[in-house]
Structure 1
Amino acid sequence: MWRSGFIAEALVRQAGRPTLDTSGAHHTGTLTAADLAAWSATYETPATYDWNGWTVCKPGPWSQGPVLLQQLALLPPELPPQGSADYVHLLVENCKLAMADREAWYGDAAGVPLDDLLSDAYNTDRRALVGERASHELRPGSPGGRTPRLCAHARVAATAQEGSAAPGTGEPTVAKSPASPVPGEPEVGDDGATRGDTCHLDVVDRWGNMVSATPSGGWLQSNPVVPELGFPLGTRLQMTWLEEGLPNSLTPGRRPRTTLTPSIALREGVPVMAFGTPGGDQQDQWQLHFLLAVALRSRVRGGLDLQGAIDAPNWHNDSFPGSFYPRGMRPGSVTVESRTDPAVVEELRRRGHRVTVGGPWSEGRLCAVARDPETGVLSAAANPRGMQGYAVGR
């Protein structure tokens, strides 16, 4: 029992050891034996959204999971051709709106108006904000007539010009230089070097039981290991704000609003697919592109075309404050793989997107499993980027 006994004692001792942090000084933690003894895991009803015959299940708004659901809610009835400039532009602009709502409304320290955020009426109004040009603004909405409140950092980051030295701006989680000391999510360099420890796994059995999980937070490269136990304490509390009165303010007994966001999708109430990815703020961008590719493509070999959807050229944007220190933001940014059609890149730039062309296999860390409820066929696929992922069966 880790909440008491020798494991708990070692965790409390570690919290009491002065440790060097990003302030440049050594500080002790605040974890106590009573904290551990009073905590227990719970079962929660997932946040869900129905789209095009699919029911997508995500963790609640203490994660960023509902961002994927809101991006589905923002989609118009008819989508542009997949991979076209119209298609990428639409998804990028919708993502900016959903992420702005994440900044204003998500967290565990206050009630989140999730029903309003996912409602048809609210997203119909939000959809009208998407124009022909790329937005460089952070535009949270007013679900149920409520007034959005952004933290001071987000307000500064949103008003700073790209390339300025305004306080509070910094590097986005993924789009940073190779020499950056800022820990982030898994990243594969040209030399094969990696950093970051988030992983994702999906499991399905012959009876249709499914698990989707994204463990992360105890990063060996940035957090001291508990000597007696061989693993570090978690690092996710960094995602809270010290400013009071926000949904994600540091609050006793409340969770930080994490980026971790595994997914399960159902058809007619039956679990069909589990999927997810490492990648910080990019997780629910890459997952949306994957889900749409699966839902809109033909089937292969008696099952869903999971590998084709994972392999398709992917992209992300950083037009919102990042979840990791220093919580940078690049208004109007889009980073695409070089396999993207050059004509699409040029058209995105014409529309005002600040496009960075990355490596041919640089965007996404997805993996997925599926079970066809009619045939019982099991399928799995894994990300080829960086040779990090594996799909196995028995």
Structure 2
Amino acid sequence: MAEFTARPELCGTFGAVASTHWIASAVGMRLLEMGGNAFDAAAAAGFTLQIVEPHLNGPGGDAPILAARARDPEPTVICGQGPSPRAATIDAFAARGLDMIPGTGLLAACVPGAFGAWMVLLRDFGTMRLRDILEPAIHYARAGHPLLAGASAAIASVQTLFADEWVSSAALYLDGDRAPLPGTLFANPVLAQFYARLLDHAETVSTKREAQIEAALAYWYEGAVAEAIDAFVKGTEAMDTSGRRNGGLLGASDLASWRPPVERPLGIDHGEHRLYKCGAWSQGPALLQAVQMIKQLDIGTMPLGSPDYVHTVCETIKLAMADRDAWYGEAMPEGVLEILLSERYAAERSALVGKDASQELRPGSPGGMRPQIPSPQYTGDGMAPGGGGEPTMAGERTLPSGSRSHQRGDTCHVDVVDRWGNMVSATPSGGWLQSSPAIPGLGFALGTRMQMCWLAEDLPSSLTPGARPRTTLTPSLAYRGGRPYLAFGTPGGDQQEQWSLQLWLAHVVHGLPLQAAIETPAFHTEHMVASFWPRERRLGSLTVEGRFSEQTRDELQHRGHVLTVGGPWSEGRLSACAHDIDGTGAVLRAAANPRGMQGYAVAR
């Protein structure tokens, strides 16, 4: 008898969509039913996620995308991570008395990359009209959607800030002086009207599909949107996590000079699979490094949930993340990435996995170079707990309301596979409602991804004008037999690669079906420099779900892990889609996380 799972393993032959919200998954399937392909479906789902998960992403945020046509030899990376403004220098922050970039407000805003990334996906890979893609998002923004409990809590956590400081956000999100209740219909008519104007403009320019998409890109990055952002940033000083009101650095010229880079992915082999990730402007290579090390450690002999398994995976993650913190970024020295991903280097690193939990950050020295991990320091007054970054737990953290105490934002994810074998994995995030004040006339906030840059010189991830911050956003896509096989990913900031690694090992090494792999008891460590303000770290930490046995928990503590036991279903929000080809034909599979009670998969 098959092992019980909270959700069924969904299978079909026509199409499959999995995402962090049931409405987005349904919208993706709607596009497939209309005759669209996986790329059309992913774009429509992505725009819908901006509406139905406004506390987790928004139009002003970011969206790294991995896209693979059925016959492509490897996926294509569409980088929806915008760069820092040209005025964003270390000296500019020093002049403001800051040695850490605030986690909220306008100072941390980069060029909004999500819109451009979805447009490039639609233009280069899709088949449907712009109207087909935007209409579902416009509908839910105009007519409303049942507000998630997490979104209601996020608004409640910043309602005082909105009422006292971010009045443009108060006008959009507060019902009088209170947060709207969970389950009530919530609409954003300003955003609906904005997207309708954009669509009308594109259709006025041309009747041709690609020309409309180009017109929309120009409207956003060179036209009315860029002008509105420029005017708002220049004319506004917004309270942020520094405890002060600060203006921003982003301007119209920063948007006009940018379009999403289209790049080759990074990849490694693991048995019959080849696993692909985005470049070192993301934390994606950390998953590849971890898999390379795991290959040396005979993980297949360690039962899932056993102390040996949890300890080995946790210690491997610590090593990969230490390399991330020391080496990843736009200024990574030449040749370092090739060494970090090599099997020889992985063998050296995996030898450091001992019987006891490490209490140190241990980056490697690729090519004999000396690693340097930044030391977080903050001298600004009014520093509050919490911040602008992604939470480490699936359960939303609700912090006390007030202008100096902010609910953290998080991330979304969507995977799609169609009947032709095309596949997409995308991780949109940023620009959540609590990141910065809403822009009048647009109905959305700018992102705060620049908080991931360091205000110290000569680090791979030091703040550099016009460079991408090293983002946590990290979709995954794997090939098998030379064809796209598996798209997967999760929200969760620094935990994204950790939970993705656990899905990969449960499915590929231990042979569990996708749904069972997602539901397997999970864990994470915060034994790294946090990517989000205020950049804390918890050496030796290990958080496990309460479903782990008491014997496993006791043994992990005995090995030196600083253990926290979370709820039974508290770790991660994974989703996945697969194109499974065997001797009888192709079967499409989809799976989504029951944790959080909002992710959903659809397949037929």
TM-score (norm 1): 0.89
| Counterparts of 1:298 and 1:126, CA distance in 2 | 26
Q: What's 2:228 paired with?
A: 10
Query: With CA pairs under 8 Å and 6+ residues apart, which has the higher RCO, 1 or 2?
Result: 2
Q: What are the residue-to-residue correspondences of 1:29-40 with 2, within 5 Å?
A: 29-40=248-259
For the 8 Å contact 1:316–1:336, the answer to whether it is kept is yes
- Corresponding residue to 1:341 among 546, 549, 555: 549
- What are the Cα deviations for residues 16-70 of structure 1, in whole angstroms up to 9, with x where unaligned? 1211122222221112222111111121111111112211111111100111000
For the 8 Å contact 2:439–2:445, the answer to whether it is kept is yes
| Structure 1, 287-296 or 110-119: larger mean CA deviation | 110-119
- What are the Cα deviations for residues 267-303 of structure 1, in whole angstroms up to 9, with x where unaligned? 122110100000000000000000111113446xxxx
Q: Is 2:298 aligned against 1:78?
A: yes
The one-letter code sitting in structure 2 at the alignment partner of 1:239 is M
Q: What's 2:315 paired with?
A: 93
- What are the Cα deviations for residues 81-134 of structure 1, in whole angstroms up to 9, with x where unaligned? 222111111111111000000010000134361110011211111111111110
| Counterparts of 1:145 and 1:135, CA distance in 2 | 22
For the 8 Å contact 1:188–1:195, the answer to whether it is kept is no
Q: What's 1:319 paired with?
A: 527
The alpha-carbon deviation at position 14 of structure 1 amounts to: 2.0
The one-letter code sitting in structure 1 at the alignment partner of 2:222 is S
For the 8 Å contact 2:386–2:408, the answer to whether it is kept is no
| Structure 1, 179-188 or 229-238: larger mean CA deviation | 179-188
For the 8 Å contact 1:275–1:366, the answer to whether it is kept is yes
Q: What's 1:376 paired with?
A: 586
The alpha-carbon deviation at position 222 of structure 1 amounts to: 2.7
| Counterparts of 1:114 and 1:358, CA distance in 2 | 35
Q: Is 2:363 aligned against 1:140?
A: yes
Q: Is 2:463 aligned against 1:250?
A: yes
| Counterparts of 1:125 and 1:183, CA distance in 2 | 36
Q: Is 2:408 aligned against 1:188?
A: no
Q: 1:77 to 1:268 in 2, by over 3 A?
A: farther
Q: What's 2:11 paired with?
A: none
For the 8 Å contact 1:337–1:357, the answer to whether it is kept is yes
| Counterparts of 1:287 and 1:234, CA distance in 2 | 24
Unpaired stretches in structure 1, ≥5 consecutive residues: 157-165, 172-178, 300-304
For the 8 Å contact 2:357–2:540, the answer to whether it is kept is yes
- Corresponding residue to 1:108 among 322, 330, 334: 330
| Counterparts of 1:167 and 1:145, CA distance in 2 | 34
Q: What's 1:65 paired with?
A: 284
The answer to which structure has the higher helix fraction is 2
| Counterparts of 2:253 and 2:388, CA distance in 1 | 31
**Larger Cα-atom Rg:** 2
| Structure 1, 220-229 or 234-243: larger mean CA deviation | 220-229
Unpaired stretches in structure 2, ≥5 consecutive residues: 1-217, 399-406
Give secondary structure in 2 for the equivalent of 1:7: helix
- Corresponding residue to 1:55 among 244, 268, 274: 274
For the 8 Å contact 2:435–2:446, the answer to whether it is kept is no
Q: Is 2:574 aligned against 1:366?
A: yes
For the 8 Å contact 2:416–2:577, the answer to whether it is kept is yes
The alpha-carbon deviation at position 189 of structure 1 amounts to: 5.1
- What are the Cα deviations for residues 176-229 of structure 1, in whole angstroms up to 9, with x where unaligned? xxx9543443642599xx962411000110111111111111020131111111
| Counterparts of 1:131 and 1:393, CA distance in 2 | 43
For the 8 Å contact 2:387–2:408, the answer to whether it is kept is no
Q: What's 1:355 paired with?
A: 563
- Corresponding residue to 1:230 among 418, 443, 462: 443
Q: Is 2:418 aligned against 1:205?
A: yes
Q: What's 2:499 paired with?
A: 286
The one-letter code sitting in structure 2 at the alignment partner of 1:389 is G
The one-letter code sitting in structure 2 at the alignment partner of 1:58 is K
- What are the Cα deviations for residues 228-286 of structure 1, in whole angstroms up to 9, with x where unaligned? 11111111111000101111011011100010000001112211010000000000000
Q: 1:190 to 1:141 in 2, by over 3 A?
A: closer
The one-letter code sitting in structure 2 at the alignment partner of 1:308 is A
Q: What's 1:220 paired with?
A: 433
Q: What's 2:539 paired with?
A: 331
For the 8 Å contact 1:381–1:390, the answer to whether it is kept is yes
| Counterparts of 1:21 and 1:195, CA distance in 2 | 13
| Counterparts of 1:264 and 1:129, CA distance in 2 | 28
The one-letter code sitting in structure 2 at the alignment partner of 1:8 is A
Report % sequence identity.
56
| Counterparts of 1:145 and 1:197, CA distance in 2 | 37
TM-score (norm 2): 0.59
| Counterparts of 1:292 and 1:29, CA distance in 2 | 43
Q: Report the count of equivalent residues.
A: 368
For the 8 Å contact 2:390–2:532, the answer to whether it is kept is no
For the 8 Å contact 1:270–1:373, the answer to whether it is kept is no
For the 8 Å contact 1:219–1:235, the answer to whether it is kept is no
The alpha-carbon deviation at position 152 of structure 1 amounts to: 3.0
For the 8 Å contact 1:237–1:256, the answer to whether it is kept is yes
